[in-house]
Amino acid sequence: MAQGRVLVVAATHGNERNAPWLLEQWRQQPELLRSNGVELQLEIGNPEALALNRRYLDRDLNRSFAPELLADASRQEREILRARALLAAHGPGGSTPCSVALDLHSTTSAMGNSLVVYGRRPADLALAAGIQARLGLPVYLHEADPAQTGFLVERWPCGLVIEVGPVPQGLVSASICRQTQLALEAALDTLAAAATGCLRLPRGLSVHLHGGSVDLPRRPDGSPAAALHPLRQHRDWIPLAAGDPLFWRADGRSQGFDSAGQRYPLARWPVFINEAAYGEKGIALSLTRRERLCCEIAWAEALSAQLQRRGAPL
Amino acid sequence: MAQGRVLVVAATHGNERNAPWLLEQWRQQPELLRSNGVELQLEIGNPEALALNRRYLDRDLNRSFAPELLADASRQEREILRARALLAAHGPGGSTPCSVALDLHSTTSAMGNSLVVYGRRPADLALAAGIQARLGLPVYLHEADPAQTGFLVERWPCGLVIEVGPVPQGLVSASICRQTQLALEAALDTLAAAATGCLRLPRGLSVHLHGGSVDLPRRPDGSPAAALHPLRQHRDWIPLAAGDPLFWRADGRSQGFDSAGQRYPLARWPVFINEAAYGEKGIALSLTRRERLCCEIAWAEALSAQLQRRGAPL
């Protein structure tokens, strides 16, 4: 049976160095990665940024895949050029087309081993459910945030982010590498099952739905007037109660979590707490609400269909 | 009694953001820092690098204070210009001279709250002993490493580094900020006592003497063939025994610590384990040996003398 090729991207952010370290090991010794017969295309997302150990050069590559940016010939930032090149090579209509993209990231937040899914495409939900059934990983379902768009995996028919932390930027941590590989192998195992039409999904998929993001308190000049409260550090996925300390001022005063004052009152589960790269985006943490979706047979069928239509324009 | 001014430097490395965050709070509310009457000069070490959230622009500022570099007019890297400017402003012969420099750093290594002292100048040892008597902080005594020279505090008559971690680069952590401030206040308390001639030193100063540094195993092309072993991560200051796992390969094999094969057989206490910024320096960790120095009255006298000779060329 023809099987769709799977794109595995490391170093979409050049200072997240665990996945590219793994990629180099797999290139040297392909037998180290249990691919379950899935044909892989291994790619460094942003080689120039990786060489400089910087997240990006001109703009965040993982916010550069919005169709309107890609189509605008006047946009010539290096990351937009790179996004176009990745699509021309390995996009669904590219020269070596891939039908699934797995984008390997790390974070300074204590996200553990986790998945990020963008929107509710059936094939993505099938893949996430398959991985969750194998490893129990939490899923951050990111949708409907006009301030955060243009993610890489959205331009492939199916794809998700494997997000592992906490680990500093610029650092290789063996335990982060091992978790990354574990999640990737669970994804490939799921894809191999889907390719043969044998993927059995669990009854439900637990997701954390994106509500919104919260910035630090700031002074009129824009400088931060507080830091994240030490009781919040490394407490991703643990729900907040009203009044829980959220921010900390240098004079020792705390500012509590005001659920009633939030625009997303049901969103109490924090994620990406104190991610170093999100300071510039004005995000101290994001808030999610927890839901359980019933898995649908149509999800698995959608994923199988992608993997069996190798190379066809999608 | 005339008292020497004390230079407090934050963001000598522009992606170590805890100290500059504190500095901004102290500038807004000077009463937040317990200075014990010591006159302070607060400075951002590398403002351009801080604005870009990068360790440095052209070269490491904290390796740019070697006299031969400073004197070589052909050297015009931005960090060398900055080093000259800092000395012209606040060096012992500068326009607003300071006799002590306290340089506030953070690290991705689990150094805890710690001090780094360069060489064995009596005034530095008195200051370190005073802080250790107050807080019990470990002291990394760095000396005689020709590969690592040109540290900022060496150009002041007295000075040391306060080094706190683990914290990712680019991130403000409330607990790292609190530890930094605690160590700085203990330093200022020590200096205030020395300025009045009332500094009483403990009987001994425990130090970890620099032996040498160990790089990752590398392939012939220079790429890392292994990562730090997960059992070594965040185990700074904990002595290694022969055979302890040190490095980890992607195929699961470990490489153990070979004390007999080391150039520094007595140096078994690791520091700066997996510091993100040291990858480019070829340092996976450094090894130290532990010693206890007897405190000498002459140390306290040397420190008092610096603090009482305000503004005089030194």
State the amino acid at position A43 in one-letter form. Answer: E
pLDDT category of residue A193 using cuts at 50, 70 and 90: very high
> Which tokens is A50 given?
């990786």
User: Is the CB of A215 inside 8 Å of chain B's CB atoms?
Assistant: no
Residue B314 pLDDT: 38
Residue B312 pLDDT: 43
B173 to A24: CB separation less than 8 angstroms, yes or no: no
Residue B1 pLDDT: 31
8 A C-beta contact, residue A163 and residue A77 = no
8 A C-beta contact, residue A242 and residue A256 = yes
Give the separation between CA A17 and CA A50, rounded to whole angstroms: 8
Question: B32 to chain A: nearest residue by CA?
Answer: A251
- From chain A, pick out residues whose CB is under 8 angstroms from the CB of B169: 168-170, 276
What is the distance in angstroms between the CA of the first residue and the CA of the last residue of chain B? 18
Contacts of A146-151 spanning 24+ positions with Cβ under 8 A? A147/A213, A147/A281, A148/A63, A148/A281, A149/A63, A149/A66, A150/A62, A150/A63, A150/A64, A150/A65, A150/A66, A150/A69, A151/A62, A151/A63, A151/A65, A151/A118
8 A C-beta contact, residue A103 and residue A92 = no
Residue A277 has pLDDT above 60, yes or no: yes
The torsion angle over the Cα atoms of residues B18, B21, B22 and B26, rounded to 10 degrees, is: 170
DSSP state of A281: G
Tell the residue number behind the tokens 């540290």, with chain if given.
B151
> Which tokens is A309 given?
């239509």
Give the separation between CA A232 and CA B15, rounded to whole angstroms: 22
Which of B53, B172, B276 is facing A171, going by the closest CB pair?
A: B276
A276 to B250: CB separation less than 8 angstroms, yes or no: no
Residue B144 pLDDT: 79
Residue B146 pLDDT: 84
Rounded CA Rg of chain B: 19
CA distance, residue A291 to nearest chain B CA (Å): 31
B224 to A21: CB separation less than 8 angstroms, yes or no: yes
Contacts of A232 (CB under 8 A, 6+ apart): A244, A245, A246, A270, A273, A274, A285
- Give the SS3 label for residue A207: strand
A169 to B248: CB separation less than 8 angstroms, yes or no: no
Which of B175, B227, B229 is facing A230, going by the closest CB pair?
A: B175
Rounded average pLDDT over A125-145: 96
Question: A18 to chain B: nearest residue by CA?
Answer: B227
User: Is the CB of A12 inside 8 Å of chain B's CB atoms?
Assistant: no
Fold classification of A208-293 is N-terminal domain of TfIIb (2.20.25)
Which of A22, A174, A233 is facing B230, going by the closest CB pair?
A: A174
B169 to A170: CB separation less than 8 angstroms, yes or no: yes
8 A C-beta contact, residue B159 and residue B124 = yes
| E strand or H helix that includes residue B82 | helix B78-90
For chain B, which ranges sit under pLDDT 70?
1-3, 259-262, 309-314
8 A C-beta contact, residue A224 and residue A218 = yes
In angstroms, the Cα distances linking A117 to A101, A125, A140 are 12, 8, 6
Q: What is the pLDDT of residues A10-33, one digit of tens each?
A: 999 999 999 999 999 999 999 999
User: What ipTM does this complex have?
Assistant: 0.89
- Give the SS3 label for residue B306: helix
Give the separation between CA A4 and CA A157, rounded to whole angstroms: 11
Q: Where are the domains of chain A?
A: 6-203+295-308, 208-293
State the amino acid at position B283 in one-letter form. Answer: I
- Between chain A and chain B, the number of residue pairs with CB atoms below 8 A apart is 102
User: Is the CB of B49 inside 8 Å of chain A's CB atoms?
Assistant: no
User: Is the CB of B177 inside 8 Å of chain A's CB atoms?
Assistant: yes
Residue A280 pLDDT: 87
pTM equals 0.93
**CATH of segment(s) A6-203+295-308:** 3.40.630.10
Contacts of B27 (CB under 8 A, 6+ apart): B42
- From chain A, pick out residues whose CB is under 8 angstroms from the CB of B21: 224, 227
Residue B8 burial (CB count, 10 A):
25
Q: Do domains B6-203+295-308 and B217-288 have the same CATH topology?
A: no
Give the separation between CA B275 and CA B297, rounded to whole angstroms: 36
Residue A145 has pLDDT above 90, yes or no: no
Fold classification of B217-288 is N-terminal domain of TfIIb (2.20.25)
